[in-house]
Amino acid sequence: MTHPAPILDISGLSVALDLPGPDAPRVVHEVDLAVHRRKITCLIGESGSGKSVTSSAVMRLLPAGLRIDGGRILLDGRDMAQASAAELATLRGRVVSMVFQEPLTALNPVMRVGDQIGELLRIHRPAMTAKAREARILDLLGDVQLPDPPQAIRAFPHQLSGGQRQRVVIAMALALEPALIIADEPTTALDVTTQAQILRLLRELMSRHDSGVLLITHDFGVVAEVADFVHVMQNGRVVEYGAAQTVLDHPRHPYTKSLIAAVPGFRFRSPLPASGQALVRAEGLELTYISRSFTGRKRAVKALDRVGFHIDPGETLGVVGESGSGKSTLAKVLMLFEQPDQGRLTVFGRDVASLRGKALRHYRANVQMVFQDPFKSLNPRRRIGQSLIEGPLENGVSRAEAMDRALHLLDRVGLPREAMDRFPHEFSGGQRQRICIARALAMQPRIVVADEAVSALDVSVQAQVLELFESLKRELGFAMLFITHDLRVASNICDRLIVMHRGKVVESGPTRAVFTAPCHAYTAELIQAIPGGLTAPA
């Protein structure tokens, strides 16, 4: 097979902090990279590795404070590193376009989908008639397999689901038939089943439109699923590259090895012996959210539909399902942030529906939560120490004792004691999540609710945090409700699983049984959709 010239040919690209002088610290260091037509090149690395910076350098959309410090970015034969502003305006969209991570923010919320695509065409193809434009938009929306293109054209972004929005973003990226599509974590914000569909779609469209794709991801599952070539980045350098299969099967660089090793394989735990006294028992929980639009039209969403489950002491119950399946509502109900409309929730042997005042506060002290986003779950204006002792102080623990607990927990989660006097922004995502875990455990709860607690973390950090949960649980003996959309993670930490779909529990049982012999079609679909497939349990 002959190799035509690549569409994108980056050589020796360096990006430095925009400081005067030749020795400004570099965030991207002499990166070489090529993307060919009809091929997907993956750029993989953890947060801070410089992968997104590299891709924004191609678009010349570097964030303020960064500048290109050398190297060439040949895009279809033209050097983007030297292009003038006017040239850039014509190149962007026409030759290269971008698909972003967050489909919600990538679209203008007050503009109809059709108009947003039409705007692109109007600017870049002024000769096109309105009729031709409409036909083209319909074509594009059909191409990305939106269910009803004529309807979708008139829809506002909020009327579409996350997956549908990402399809629209891809349609926009394709509108001008660009030679190169840069996709920055295009499926990270999506559910597994949607992710699989979008990746398949991307692959198919790329071949049909004869373009190349530079796919940025942190997920080796995605690489295994779609990549032709892969470049592994660490600290701004490409440490390894090659054909995807080769790199995955025979990684040479220690960093690649460690990244691949960190991807949680499926590891099933032997279920705990059943105990007679359940810590939490829920029967027939129902919760309906009713929203009323301005015109008075009512919309009811059943977030929980006859949900029943139980958690034994010391057990981790996993809740898996896609977004909108009611997982987080379940957490809120258990935290008593929300009242179920119907059903019985018995915790610590008593019905919690009627808890008020002091009893409610006592209950909450025993049920603590770890949230998904480590950047939002600590008050940015309070020192770590203040956050750690606040809860215990409020619940009758003396100051000295609370300090003791906080320091001990910091040791336990692997952070220096000096952390007490620092602010959250001085820590990385993984460290913050450790702090959040310490904060929850400082209350000495009997139940910990972890809502997507590792989803926002890099894989290597994810593994560490999961291990931390595990060992703390062994030591302190709390029970856990572990909510996740990531089945690999679930298999690593949960004793039993419940699978939720549209507010209903469609399947429940010991983790291994659910994975290896799913009873419900939806569970089977979920397992099918895991990028990289169900690797053999170790």
The residue ranges that bind other proteins (CB under 8 A) are 335, 337, 360-362, 364-365, 367-369, 371-373, 376-382, 385, 387, 390-391, 394-395, 399-400, 403-404, 417-418, 420-421, 423, 425-426, 436, 439-440, 443
**Residue 91 or residue 441: which is nearer to other proteins going by CB?**
441
- Interatomic CA distance for residues 291 and 293, integer angstroms: 6
Minimum CB separation from other proteins for residue 238, in Å? 29
**Residue 104 or residue 128: which is nearer to other proteins going by CB?**
104
Nearest to 26 by CA among 10, 14, 12, 43: 14
Nearest to 83 by CA among 61, 65, 104, 100: 61
**Cα-flanking dihedrals φ and ψ of residue 224, to 5°?**
-60, -35
Minimum CB separation from other proteins for residue 457, in Å? 15
Using the 8-state DSSP alphabet, how is residue 119 labeled?
H
Task: Tell me if 337 sits within 8 A of 368, measured CB to CB.
Answer: no
Residues present in the chain in total = 538
Minimum CB separation from other proteins for residue 403, in Å? 6
| Burial (Cβ within 10 Å: 0-12, 13-18, ≥19) of residue 292 | exposed
**Residue 370 or residue 527: which is nearer to other proteins going by CB?**
370
**Which strands sit side by side in the sheet containing 96-99, from one edge to the other?**
96-99, 180-184, 212-217, 40-44, 229-234, 237-243
Minimum CB separation from other proteins for residue 345, in Å? 16
**Residue 4 or residue 357: which is nearer to other proteins going by CB?**
357
Nearest to 74 by CA among 162, 168, 180: 180
Minimum CB separation from other proteins for residue 248, in Å? 35
Q: At what angle do helices 192-209 and 162-174 cross, to 10 degrees?
A: 10
Minimum CB separation from other proteins for residue 523, in Å? 29
| Bridge partners (DSSP) listed for residue 281 | 310, 346
**Residue 169 or residue 389: which is nearer to other proteins going by CB?**
389
**Residue 199 or residue 442: which is nearer to other proteins going by CB?**
442
Minimum CB separation from other proteins for residue 255, in Å? 28
**Residue 203 or residue 439: which is nearer to other proteins going by CB?**
439
| Secondary structure class of 416 (helix, strand, coil) | coil
**Residue 272 or residue 365: which is nearer to other proteins going by CB?**
365
Minimum CB separation from other proteins for residue 329, in Å? 14
Minimum CB separation from other proteins for residue 16, in Å? 17
3-state helix, strand, coil in the chain (%, to 5): 40, 25, 35
Tell me the CA distances in angstroms from 203 to 9, 199, 214, 227, 240, one per residue in order.
21, 6, 11, 9, 23
Look-up of token digits 């983007």: 80
Look-up of token digits 């009803």: 148
For the record, the structure tokens of 402 come out as 């609370």
**Residue 4 or residue 63: which is nearer to other proteins going by CB?**
63
**Residue 235 or residue 366: which is nearer to other proteins going by CB?**
366
**Residue 166 or residue 431: which is nearer to other proteins going by CB?**
431
Minimum CB separation from other proteins for residue 391, in Å? 3
Minimum CB separation from other proteins for residue 445, in Å? 9
| Bridge partners (DSSP) listed for residue 300 | 290
**Cα-flanking dihedrals φ and ψ of residue 344, to 5°?**
-120, 130
Half-sphere exposure of 344 (CA within 13 A, CB side): 7
